[in-house]
Amino acid sequence: MNSTKKTLMGKTLLGKTLLSITLSLSVALTGSLAVPAAKVEAATSSTASSVIATGQKFLGVNYKFGATAGSTSSFDCSSFTQYVFKKNGITLPRSSVSQSKAGKYVSKSNLKAGDLIFSDTNRDGVINHVSIYMGNGKLLHTYRKGLGVTISTFSGSTWDKTYVTARRVI
């Protein structure tokens, strides 16, 4: 009887030990997988904040259709987004149509700060405007001579009513 108790106790202790090791490994592995995801999200929001901060430095800079790429004396919508993103290590094509194919699609309901919003303000089926979504329903962009780089409300605006797509390039 005494040796039976020892064997049962040995099996019980072995079972508890294995269970403890399994749980510890599970927690350790799950925790290590969660950390990089949080770091990626933080890096993304940090990049978005940097892109927006860079763009805000140019508030009021003149609008000029066909502005020279890389110039900061005037911008059109796509030269503005191209310049601001490039300053933050992200290369975009020059035109709004080309930019609308960069990165990955994001639905209007899932917009995050730093996403690019594309509109067809001429209502002719061709994308002709790009803006940077700032979050909280605001856009950072340029579109009109005399106004220059500005912040606009997205909801109910011309850009909302003529919205075509959005892309995440960060």
CA atoms within 13 A on the CB side of 39: 6
Is position 101 annotated as part of the catalytic site?
no
Q: What is the pLDDT of residue 39?
A: 52
Which candidate in 52, 77, 116, 132 is catalytic? 77
Q: Rounded to an integer, what distance in angstroms lies between the CA atom of residue 87 and that of residue 89? A: 6
**Each residue of 82-117: pLDDT tens digit?**
999 999 999 999 999 999 999 999 999 999 999 999
User: Which residue ranges make up each domain of the chain?
Assistant: 52-168
Fold of 52-168: endopeptidase fold (from Nostoc punctiforme) (3.90.1720)
Is position 129 annotated as part of the catalytic site?
yes
Which candidate in 67, 117, 141, 142 is catalytic? 141
Q: Rounded to an integer, what distance in angstroms lies between the CA atom of residue 56 and that of residue 69? A: 18
Q: Rounded to an integer, what distance in angstroms lies between the CA atom of residue 15 and that of residue 19? A: 6
Q: Apex CA 24: angle with CA 20 and CA 27, to 5°?
A: 140
pTM of the model: 0.76
**Each residue of 31-70: pLDDT tens digit?**
433 334 455 456 668 999 999 999 999 999 999 999 999 9
